[in-house]
Chain A
Amino acid sequence: EDKVVQSPLSLVVHEGDTVTLNCSYEVTNFRSLLWYKQEKKAPTFLFMLTSSGIEKKSGRLSSILDKKELSSILNITATQTGDSAIYLCAVDWSTNAGKSTFGDGTTLTVKP
């Protein structure tokens, strides 16, 4: 069965800390892995990763995919209270006609 597992499930840090969120997957015919940030309402797209070892970066956020280990990490440096959200990882595969499988998310709380 296709599976996406995120860890930790929740994390509490203080402003300025660096955090690393993990996502591992068990799939066949992997196509891409996506990270989303969900605050109070709609998830918003962060990154899409298709190739191993190539870091994607946006400001203080960065992510990298390891296809050998079937995993990805999302790093956030110098965290701010506005980074508090649920971070969702999703995997898209080529044989399931379009369905993305989401992990349960990591709830990040950044305290001032």
Chain B
Amino acid sequence: NAGVMQNPRHLVRRRGQEARLRCSPMKGHSHVYWYRQLPEEGLKFMVYLQKENIIDESGMPKERFSAEFPKEGPSILRIQQVVRGDSAAYFCASSRRVLRKNIQYFGAGTRLSVL
């Protein structure tokens, strides 16, 4: 049973380009979360999605950032017109979210570097 798969592991973009980060949840998981982590900081929640629905995007910047989790295929976090401040590690997690249990399993992350 493969874990949460994220790709690419490293992504280099120049300012103004677009970054697309992919996340395939664990088998049987229909809940996906995206987090951003800056050096020396904890994980900051960005967005929570279920299949085809955004449930909570309160942590996502209003501009340039978007996320989707289509019926088929991985979840995508898209950052348009990247700026240097977008450089960070982006982690995806998935869960089954059964009753009170919301144990999230994390992917290895995508490290975005904006030149």
Contacts and interface: CB of A to CB of B under 8 A. Distances in A.
B42 interface: yes
B100 A50 contact: yes
A96 interface: yes
Interface residues of A, number: 25
A32 B101 contact: yes
Taking residues whose C-beta sits less than 8 angstroms from the other chain, chain B's interface range is: 20 to 34
B108 A42 contact: yes
B102 interface: yes
B91 A102 contact: no
Contacts of B8: none
Contacts of A100: 33, 45, 102, 104
B103 A34 contact: yes
Interface in B12-36: 31, 33, 35
A88 B43 contact: yes
B64 interface: no
Interface string B87-105: 0000100000100111111
A98 interface: yes
Contacts of A90: 43, 104
Interface in A33-86: 34, 36, 41-45, 48, 50
Given A43-B106, A104-B41, A98 B48 contact: yes
A45 B104 CA distance: 8
Given A32-B102, A98-B31, 7 more contacts: A32-B100, A43-B43, A97-B55, A97-B56, A98-B97, A99-B48, A102-B42
**Top 6 closest pairs, chain A to chain B, by CB:** A104-B42, A42-B106, A102-B43, A41-B108, A98-B48, A102-B42
